[in-house]
Every structure is written in structure tokens, then in C-alpha cells.
Amino acid sequence: MKLGTTDIEVSPIALGTWAMGGGDSWGESDPVLAVKTVHRALELGINFIDTAPAYGNGLSEQLLGDALAGKRHQAVLATKCGLVWGNDDEGSVHKSRDGVTIRRNLGKQSIIKQVEESLGRLKTDYIDLLLTHWQSIPPFHTPIEETIEVFELLKQQGKIRSYGACNVSLEELKEYQKFGTPSLVQERFSMLWRDKADLASYCAENRITFQAYSPLERGVLTGKAALSQNVVGTAKASVAWYKMENRPKVLTLLTSLETMADTYNTRVGNLVIAWTRQATGTMNVLCGARKPNQIEENSKAQDLVITAKDWAIIDSLARTLL
């Protein structure tokens, strides 16, 4: 599929590397497995890879830089800006984790510095897609016009090829459009999380790629086994469906999805990914993985097409939990 209105071709499923950063969010990371996962994704035709400086405070980007040595031309590489954690970094407080305070800063000079640091960790001289990770808030608020100005400058310099936004409201996206041409919007979206459904529809109408993150609800929708395992890391712990009181409802849904998956000779996780991919005309599905077998399993959803009737049945089953 095309990335927005650019001529950049990306796989409909992307590899997410948040978990590769480990830390409080995901638990300990395995660098060797992380690199192997990236290599396996490329072998399977998944060329779209997403990362961010804040994932593991630079570790995810470093691992991706190692993995893409000699293979950079095979990947469409997306990273982000706007979150900083240095002792001398200014910005509005975002959160604290892994012993540091994360701050939001989308000012011009900060973005220029952030991009140079990302290029160094990624061991590349250009980024295919640069995204604002979280939007600017007071007291260190930066107008979107200023952020777009530096994005356009970075494009002219050849350091980025395109840009977009994560965790953005419809009003903010329209502001991006007023001053520039965003190629992609990345938002949490799944059959059990529809808060940004209207934004997804708007993106489809305006030829902006909408990339769904956490489409499997961080493991919940991969199958019943996930709900029998211990929850490790704050990323999973923050998902309400892992709470004991919600598990019976999810298990009922998973039983129905298993029956549907059998008719397609696939597994529940792949059925869910395919359902998500077919939600709108510009949908891209971001699937996190840090082990080769995980991306191998997710990749099977690339060619899976659900009939319109079955899509609607799955939709109605999931809506009973919303």
C-alpha cells in the first residue's frame, strides 16, 4: 500500500519495536532475538518498521540500527520525536519510568537535536517517516505550525522523507493539514478499542494512512493462552481486558473467534489482524514483536481476507464488550 499520498510503498502490516526497548513497560529485552526478529520480518515481506527514541530510552533505535546494517535499503523506517528524557532537556512532564522523567518538547531546536540523535542510534542518514509521538501541551507548548516548519526543513535537507502524528485529535490533525501534508496518523485502535474510529474514517477520506497500534490489545486477542499467563510490564498491565473481572467476557469472545478462525484455517490473532486491516481503506496494522516466531505468526495475516459478512459478524461480537 502507499504511505499517504507519497510514492513510498509499505507492507499492510508493520513491525512494532516498542517491546524491544524492554524496561518497565515490557520487562527485560533480548538484543539477539530483537535483531533476528527484524531480519525475519524483512524476509517475510514486512518492510515497514516502527520505533521511537523513548522505547527503552534509545535502546529500541539502537537495536534497529544494528539489525539494519547492510539492509537499510530494504526497510521503510519510521521513528518519532517529541519525548525527551535528558537531565538538561526542557519540556512539559509526560511521565516517569525507568528512573527518568519523560518530557514533551516539539520545539524546533529540540526536534533538530532529537533527529540527529535518532539518526546516530539508527546508523542511517535518513528517516522515511518522522512522527510526533505525543502532542504538545502547556507549559512548554509549541504551535503545530512551528513543528511542521521544522519537518519541512528536515525534508528539504533529505533527513526525512515524510511525516505524521501519533496520539492526535481530529482538530489537531486538521491543523497539521493546514500547514503541511501528514502522511500517516498512528493511534491505538482495535476491535475492543474504538475511541479513534471517527479519526480513522477521516483519514480514509483524506488519503492519510491510519496505523493501528495495539490491535491485539497487547496479547489479549491472540488467543485464550494469553489470559492464563502472568502479566509482565506496565504496557500489558494497563490493558483493562487483563483484569480478572473482564476475562470471562473476553474468553467468550475468543471462543466465538476460534470458531470463525477455523473456517479460515487460521488462528485467532491473524483473524483479528485481518479484521483490523479491513476496517478502513487506508488502514495499516502495527504488530509488535520481539521474537522471530511472533512476527512469523503475524505475517500470515498479510494475505488473509475476510468476507464482508464475516467482518460484520466479528464486529457485532466485539461490540458486545464495548
Active site residues: 55
Please enumerate in sequence order all residues whose Cβ is within 8 A of that of 130, keeping only pairs 6 or more positions apart, or say none: 78, 79, 80, 81, 115, 151, 154, 160, 162, 163, 164
- Cell 483479528 sits on residue: 272
Q: Contact, 214 vs 193, CB < 8 A? A: yes
10 Å CB burial of residue 234 (0-12, 13-18, 19+) is middle
Q: In 3-state terms, what secondary structure has residue 175?
A: helix
Q: What is the phi/psi pair of residue 74, to 5°? A: -85, -15
Q: What is the phi/psi pair of residue 83, to 5°? A: -115, 125
Which residue type is seen at 84?
Answer: V
Q: How many helices (H) and strands (E) does the chain have?
A: 12, 11
d(CA 144, CA 136): 8
228: which 3 cell numbers? Answer: 492464563
DSSP states of 186-208: EEE-BTTB-TTHHHHHHHHHTT-
d(CA 213, CA 94): 19
311: which 3 cell numbers? Answer: 467482518
* Residue from 54, 208, 206 nearest 134 by CA: 54
Q: Contact, 11 vs 283, CB < 8 A? A: no
Which residue type is seen at 193?
Answer: W
